[in-house]
Amino acid sequence: MVRTALASLAAASAALWTGGAAAADRAKATVACAPTAERLVYDCRIVLTGRKSGAPLEGAKLVVGADMPSMPLAHNVRPVTATPGGTPGLYEARIELEMHGEWALRLDVSGPLRDRLFHKMHFGGAKGAGTDHQHHMKK
Name the minimum Å distance from CB 70 to Cu ion: 7
User: Which CB atom, from 11 or from 99, has the smaller least distance to Cu ion?
Assistant: 99
Other beta carbons less than 10 A from residue 131's beta carbon: 18
| Footprint of Cu ion on 69-98 (CB under 5 A) | 71
User: Which member of 21, 48, 68, 121 binds Cu ion (CB under 5 A)?
Assistant: 68
Q: Sign of dihedral through CA atoms 37, 122, 34, 94? A: negative
Other beta carbons less than 10 A from residue 8's beta carbon: 9
Name the minimum Å distance from CB 32 to Cu ion: 22
Name the minimum Å distance from CB 124 to Cu ion: 11
User: Which CB atom, from 51 or from 120, has the smaller least distance to Cu ion?
Assistant: 120
The span from the CA of 89 to the CA of 74, in Å, is 32
Q: Going residue by residue from 15 to 54, which x/- string records binding to Cu ion, judged by CB under 5 A?
A: ----------------------------------------
| β-strand pairing of 83-84 with 90-96 | antiparallel
Number of residues that bind Cu ion (CB under 5 A): 3
Which residues lie closer than 8 Å to 87 by C-beta, 6 or more apart? 56
| Footprint of Cu ion on 99-118 (CB under 5 A) | 99
The span from the CA of 88 to the CA of 117, in Å, is 19
Point out which residues bind Cu ion (CB under 5 A). 68, 71, 99
